[in-house]
Structure 1
């Protein structure tokens, strides 16, 4: 297999770092193969001011890249899985799920807070995620949520420029950019970091990278198969199944986390909420990948009455008939 493969990626520092990790693994396994990264500017990278909800959701980070895949300009593309829409364009497949990094969120702050409950009354917290916002306000209604967008470095700078008490970031991105950092580390500008595992349910696919390619490109699929992690694949496909069943995107708060378990097979936690956190529903399901645990969890939440949260315009049930539920801990 001595051909050249062109890999598409966003131009952000995190995306380039993730692509570098994939390229290095491929080169080590297949030394006769040439891997050439091709950075691509996406709509989500160009528009850093509008909310994701108004410019098309998470798909704005991958559409241009997928177009080049279909045109044959690139052979495969590296994505953060949470940026990939639940339904792919015709002719494309997810060819490889490398081993997942941490799926959880963390709080980055200028002071060493022990946890969310340690934040001062009325603390200003930066995030552009409705999922994070809803769970934060459900736990701490006094918090002021400040919408922020941009790459990791720009969001960290906004702690000072926007006078924030903290920002919520994905642990995986920090781990990839700052693999050796700890509390108060100089590379993080002396900022402090506390994990929110068990506090905030993550986004579907968070912490996972994925490689997308053309469905009929057998040579590329063969190359990528060597780096597929079955446990990661089963977990994140279950999370995406849950999102698909609920018509999920980033236009309403939705969380999903699955992990493999020797005793139960797959253990899944799902969440749907209102943006202000006053209504929050959770579910827990176990089973195997063949049991369609994600779809079952979605059905369970629909039975609980989440449709007014998902589609308030067309739902026949008024929102005030929905009862709040206690969030599930992500184990």
Structure 2
């Protein structure tokens, strides 16, 4: 059997989330090739990412060149539009979409943080949500991998962190999670907590070999959220958040699509609709967002 060459970024996070994929593909022989991830992993430039696909350019180039067969992506960091010649061939079952708070005292919650507490995050989405929910907190720009942010916390550079729950879990740090924050307080990024496997569009053999890893429900949610991003001119660090939620009562399946556009101050336009067709529901959500001035709000200085 031909070895399946899998490409992933060389960060600790990427390698941690790639390991279960390699195990799940057994007995297929696999070879993991790490990529430096120039652009996305550079600590000094994480906050102002104004370009779609900045995290994935190097690994996509290798995939197009035939140097690897599969690229592993965090969907929220992947290009909103498929790169010509490439396709998202499989989506792994989605993890927890919520953000979480991490402090030195695991009993503290977002509501019980003392006035003036310094909270580290470089995310415009999290910053806007925190300013709206707890304007008395001091948000401190903090960039870099999760481990470097945890180091800043325990060196007392900041008093608390807001990070993705799934990131903590994938790194084996579930025990460090103090509180999982409701999406009603901090709305997740579109594409959050989804691992996507990308292949060349014409490579049907590889597509077939990884098909057993695909989760159908996650696939619908992923494509619906990518559509929402495209309709709203969104990208990784845009002022846009939301999710698609599958509702299955055993007899009927519906989809709740939420999208939230916001300004740096936290002013937001938030639309949520439920329907039987995920694509139509997403398009209706985007239409209502646009009608309420979401595109202008997201570009507000």
Do the two structures share a fold, i.e. TM-score over 0.5? yes
Q: Equivalents in 1 of 2:143, 2:298: separation in Å?
A: 24
Q: How far apart are the structure 1 equivalents of 2:179 and 2:107?
A: 8
Q: Is 1:52–1:250's contact at 8 Å kept on the other side of the alignment?
A: no
**Residue 271 of structure 1, aligned match among 260, 279, 301:** 260
Q: How does 1:141-220 map to 2 (within 5 A)?
A: 141-161=135-155, 163-178=157-172, 181-182=174-175, 188=176, 193-198=178-183, 199-220=185-206
Residues 130 and 250, structure 1, Cα contact 8 Å, conserved in 2? no
Inter-partner Cα distance in structure 1 for 2:277 and 2:36: 35
Summarize the Cα distance change of 1:13–1:292 in structure 2 as closer, same or farther, 3 Å threshold: same
Corresponding position of 1:235? 221
Q: Does 1:252 align with 2:238?
A: yes
1:224 deviates by 1.7
Q: Contact 2:190/2:225 (CA < 8 Å) preserved in 1?
A: yes
Pair 1:144–1:250, CA change in 2 (3 A): farther
Alignment of 1:102-121 (within 5 A): 102-121=96-115
Alignment match, 1:94: 88
Q: Report the more deviating stretch, 40-49 or 9-18.
A: 40-49
Return the TM-score normalized by structure 2. Answer: 0.93
C-alpha separation in 2, matches of 1:276 and 1:312: 10
**What SS does the aligned partner of 2:23 have?**
helix
3-state SS, counterpart of residue 163 of structure 1: coil
SS state at 1:61 partner: coil
Measure how far apart 1:92 and its partner are: 0.4
Cα-to-partner distance string for 1:249-288 (whole Å, 9 max, x where unaligned):
24532111111102551112211110121x1111111123
1:154-193 CA-partner distances (Å, limit 9, x unpaired): 11111133521211111111111116x43xxxxx5xxx51
Paired with 1:268 and 1:170, the residues of 2 have a C-alpha distance of 20
Where 1:49 maps in the other structure, the secondary structure is helix
| 1:283 maps to which of 271, 277, 280 | 271
Deviation sequence 1:180-226 (CA, Å, 0-9, x none): x43xxxxx5xxx51100232110111111010010000101111211
Partner of 2:288: 300
The aligned counterpart of 1:38 is 33
> Does residue 71 of structure 2 align to residue 82 of structure 1?
no
Other-structure match for 1:321: none
Residues 170 and 21 of structure 1: is their aligned pair in 2 closer, same or farther, counting only changes over 3 Å? same
Aligned length: 297
Report the CA distance between 1:122 and its aligned residue: 1.7
CA contact (8 A) 2:255 2:275 kept: yes
Give the corresponding residue for 1:11. Answer: 10
TM-score, length-scaled by structure 1:
0.85
* Corresponding residue of 2:67: 73
Contact 1:23 1:35 in 2 (8 A): yes
Instruction: Structure 2 unaligned segments of length 5 or more: list them.
Output: none
Query: Which ranges in structure 1 are unaligned for 5 or more consecutive residues?
Result: 183-187, 314-331
Q: Say if 2:57 is the partner of 1:63.
A: yes
Deviations 1:93-113 (A, max 9, x none): 000001111111000011235
